[in-house]
């Protein structure tokens, strides 16, 4: 049984592609399986999860728990070595700000991709 955590992300989004490439470079222990949600197998993909992935990144844990949006992003950061900043941000009231910021970034990812993650590696 695969004990890696799935990251389901938007394969049509350049910003997402670059963010996932950065994350995979930092996943030195191979804990994640990053898959474009459009190509994810069943399981873990379900029709409801597919619809939800259109709007945010999702993390599917080996035990079946699902994190989305800001919480998923913080989990990824914590796992790849940035727990010192991610763990405090998971607590209220900071998590509320993280989720708000995630929504703003997700709504403007085409524009923001001009400034962040410019290089593809």
Q: Does domain 5-112 have CATH number 3.40.30?
A: yes
20-64 confidence digits (pLDDT tens) = 999 999 999 999 999 999 999 988 899 999 999 999 999 999 999
83-115 confidence digits (pLDDT tens) = 999 999 999 999 999 999 999 988 888 777 666
Each domain of the chain, given as residue ranges in start order, spans: 5-112
Q: Which residues contact 43 (CB under 8 A, 6 or more apart)?
A: none
pLDDT of 119 strictly over 90:
no
User: What pLDDT is stored for residue 121 in this prediction?
Assistant: 43
Q: Which residues contact 79 (CB under 8 A, 6 or more apart)?
A: 5, 27, 31, 32
Mean pLDDT along residues 67-83 = 96
């Amino acid at each position: 049984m695969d004990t890696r955590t799935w990251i389901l992300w938007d394969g049509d989004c350049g910003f997402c592609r670059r963010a996932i490439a950065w994350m995979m470079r930092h996943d030195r222990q191979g804990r994640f399986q990053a898959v474009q949600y459009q190509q994810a197998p069943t399981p873990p993909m379900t029709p409801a999860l597919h619809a939800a992935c259109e709007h945010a990144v999702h993390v599917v844990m080996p035990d079946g728990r699902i994190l989305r949006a800001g919480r998923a992003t913080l989990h990824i950061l914590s796992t790849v070595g940035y727990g010192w900043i991610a763990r405090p941000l998971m607590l209220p009231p900071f998590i509320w700000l993280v989720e708000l910021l995630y929504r703003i970034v997700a709504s403007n990812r085409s524009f923001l991709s001009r400034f962040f993650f410019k290089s593809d590696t």
